[in-house]
Each structure stands twice: as structure tokens, then as C-alpha cells.
């Protein structure tokens, strides 16, 4: 898709604004149900754990929605005020087991390097090209195959990432990021301690652990489908283009209305990558009012299942392929 920087900036400009009314309503219709469902889940433990798991599953969806607010705050798009964004982002980060400031830093790198074959490795999903895979040692090939296995990606991966990796900054991270993660952990453990004191260790673990796990699975699923599809744009540094990286390297994940709501409109990922300054509550409007944004790779849930089989990027065919392509 080709249009100039001037053209796309003009298109997105009307939506790069913050609405205190919409932001406040989004906080109310997300945080209030989340808190209510959490304590309803505590009550349900005396009735049936199956009922508890039902409530936990619903609340995991609200946790995904809260994470999208954290995500917007990191981009400085949810509120007009940076301080307000950082406060809400930090609080939401504690709720979603995400170190807000460190995650925001790595996510900004993801936006700056998305679909760039020469700048992979930060804030993205590990992706090898066909040639890189062929040239890799047997050990590295096995490691990569394990990593790209759906069980590892969507079951073991979310557990490892949100319960363990998110507790540390990268080994080469600057001191300020390590301190930021430390304070995030202090807040997280303090909040967990307060909840344990209030409801007990057993109830807390029976509710919180599956809730975070399910929300993490949902979040990683969304991220995967928005960047790992067959016609995904990838290019080397000397030919990489920001606009194409956004519009062709990100999908429009067309979800049922209720799932679009719970996922905070993040399915309009092509627009988000083109202009992360657009708050989630204006992405839908931007998409539907501008036909050019509707001419992108669109996936529904059924079509997205095919993406699970894609493992490598073929630079010659310029598309994602399965492991069978190199067998």
C-alpha cells in the first residue's frame, strides 16, 4: 500500500486526540466490573469451583481490556496528560502483572522495528527466515521448533512471560529500567499481599493464577495473529518502509463485536501501528471513516487458525510458510 507521509498524517490527525469523557467511561466500565467479578469469584468458592472458573474466565477478558488501556498509556494516547497516563499505566500494569515502564520501552522498540528483518528481537515474536533456519544448527532448529509449537506459544509461554520474565528487565537493560521493574514488583507483591490478607492465600491463588494465565493467553493470541499471517510484510533495513510495515505488516483482526470490545479495538492493528497516538476508543471510527484503511489483510477467527501453522518467513516467496516448506 503506497501513500505519502503527508497523506497518512492528514488522515489520522482528526483521531489523534484524547477524550476525558471516553477515557473515564472506559475506566468505569472496565475496572469496576473487574473488581466486582473478583470478589464475586471469592464468594463463588463456597458454591462451586466451576462457577468460580466461569467468573475467572469472564474477568480475564476484562483484564485484557485493562491491558489495552495500559498499552495506550504507554503510547501516551489514553489521556492528554503524561502524568495521568503513567499513573493509570502503572496501576493497570500491577493488575495485569506487567512492568509498565519497562514494557513501554520495549514496546516502543517493537513499533520502530516491526517487519524489519534486520532489527528483530525486541518486543516481537521470534521469527526466522527459511534460509536462517536451514543454516542453523540442529540444536537451534530444535529450540525454534519448540518455541513455535502452539502448546509452548500459547500455554507454557504465557505462564513463563507474565509470571517470570516480566519480573526482570533484560540483562543489558540500563539501570533505570531495572529500577523501574523493581518498583513494579514491589507494588505487585504488596498488592498481592494485601489481597491475601483480605481473602486468604488459597482463594487468592485459585482465582488470580488462572485469571492471569487466561488473560495472558488471550493477549499473546491477539499479538500473534496481528503479526504472523501469510502475506505479512517483512523487509531488510535498506528497503524497509514504515508505512508498509504498519499497513502490510499488521493485520485487521475482525472479531465479533463483544470480543472487539473486550480487546479494546486492538484488532485495528494496522491503524495502531501507523499511528500509535490514536487512542483505542477512536480506532474503530478511524477505520470505518477511511476506505483506505479497509484495504488491508483482514482475518476473522476461523481464518486466523491457519496462522498457527506458519513458522518461517520465505524471503523469495515473500510470505510466511510452514515447516514443511523446508522438509
Per-residue pLDDT at 42: 98
Residue 48, all three cell numbers: 462451586
Which residues, including other chains, have CB under 8 Å from residue 127's CB and lie 6 or more apart? 120, 228, 234, 312, 313
Q: Whole-prediction pTM value?
A: 0.94
Q: Say how many domains are in the chain.
A: 1
Per-residue pLDDT at 326: 86
Per-residue pLDDT at 226: 94
Pairing of strands 128-129, 298-299: unpaired
Average pLDDT over residues 171-196: 96
pLDDT digits (tens, 9 = 90+) for 204-229: 999 999 999 999 999 999 999 999 99
Q: How far apart are CA 114 and CA 107, in angstroms?
A: 10
Average pLDDT over residues 59-83: 98
Pairing of strands 312-314, 128-129: parallel
Average pLDDT over the chain, rounded to an integer: 95
Q: How far apart are CA 93 and CA 207, in angstroms?
A: 18
Which residue range(s) make up the domain with 45?
5-326
Average pLDDT over residues 291-314: 94
Per-residue pLDDT at 1: 57
Report the chain's C-alpha Rg in angstroms. 20
Q: Which of 2-16, 148-162, 250-264, 285-299 has the lowest mean pLDDT?
A: 2-16
- The full DSSP string for 67-100 is HHHHHHHHHT-SSS-HHHHHHHHHHHHHHTT--H
Residue 282 pLDDT level (bands cut at 50, 70, 90):
very high
Per-residue pLDDT at 8: 84
Per-residue pLDDT at 194: 97
Residue 3 pLDDT level (bands cut at 50, 70, 90):
low
Per-residue pLDDT at 171: 84
Per-residue pLDDT at 172: 87
Average pLDDT over residues 282-310: 95
Assess whether pLDDT exceeds 70 at residue 2: no
CA angle 296-132-224, nearest 5°?
35
Amino acid at each position: 500500500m503506497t501513500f505519502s507521509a503527508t497523506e497518512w498524517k492528514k488522515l489520522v490527525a482528526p483521531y489523534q486526540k484524547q477524550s476525558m469523557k471516553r477515557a473515564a467511561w472506559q475506566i468505569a466500565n472496565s475496572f469496576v466490573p473487574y473488581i466486582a467479578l473478583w470478589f464475586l469469584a471469592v464468594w463463588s468458592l463456597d458454591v462451586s469451583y466451576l462457577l468460580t472458573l466461569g467468573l475467572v474466565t469472564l474477568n480475564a477478558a476484562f483484564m485484557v481490556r485493562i491491558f489495552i488501556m495500559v498499552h495506550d498509556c504507554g503510547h501516551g494516547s489514553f489521556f492528554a496528560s503524561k502524568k495521568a497516563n503513567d499513573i493509570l499505566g502503572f496501576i493497570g500494569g500491577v493488575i495485569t502483572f506487567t512492568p509498565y515502564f519497562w514494557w513501554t520501552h520495549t514496546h516502543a522498540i517493537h513499533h520502530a522495528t516491526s517487519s524489519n528483518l534486520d532489527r528483530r528481537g525486541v518486543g516481537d515474536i521470534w521469527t526466522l527466515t527459511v534460509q536462517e533456519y536451514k543454516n542453523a544448527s540442529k540444536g537451534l532448529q530444535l529450540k525454534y521448533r519448540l518455541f513455535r509449537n502452539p502448546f509452548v506459544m500459547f500455554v507454557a509461554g504465557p505462564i513463563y512471560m507474565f509470571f517470570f520474565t516480566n519480573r526482570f528487565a533484560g540483562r543489558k537493560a540500563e539501570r533505570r529500567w531495572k529500577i523501574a521493574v523493581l518498583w513494579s514488583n514491589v507494588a505487585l507483591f504488596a498488592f498481592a499481599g494485601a489481597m491475601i490478607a483480605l481473602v486468604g492465600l488459597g482463594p487468592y491463588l485459585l482465582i488470580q493464577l488462572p485469571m492471569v494465565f487466561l488473560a495472558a493467553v488471550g493477549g499473546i493470541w491477539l499479538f500473534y495473529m496481528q503479526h504472523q499471517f501469510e502475506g505479512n510484510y517483512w523487509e531488510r533495513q535498506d528497503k524497509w518502509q514504515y508505512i508498509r510495515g504498519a499497513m502490510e505488516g499488521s493485520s485487521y483482526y475482525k472479531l465479533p463485536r463483544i470480543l472487539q470490545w473486550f480487546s479494546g479495538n486492538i484488532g485495528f492493528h494496522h491503524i495502531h501501528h501507523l499511528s500509535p497516538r490514536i487512542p483505542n476508543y477512536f480506532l474503530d471510527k478511524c477505520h470505518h471513516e477511511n476506505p483506505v484503511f479497509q484495504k488491508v489483510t483482514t482475518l476473522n477467527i476461523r481464518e486466523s487458525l491457519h496462522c498457527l501453522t506458519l513458522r518461517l518467513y520465505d524471503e523469495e516467496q515473500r510470505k510466511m510458510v510452514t515447516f514443511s516448506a523446508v522438509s
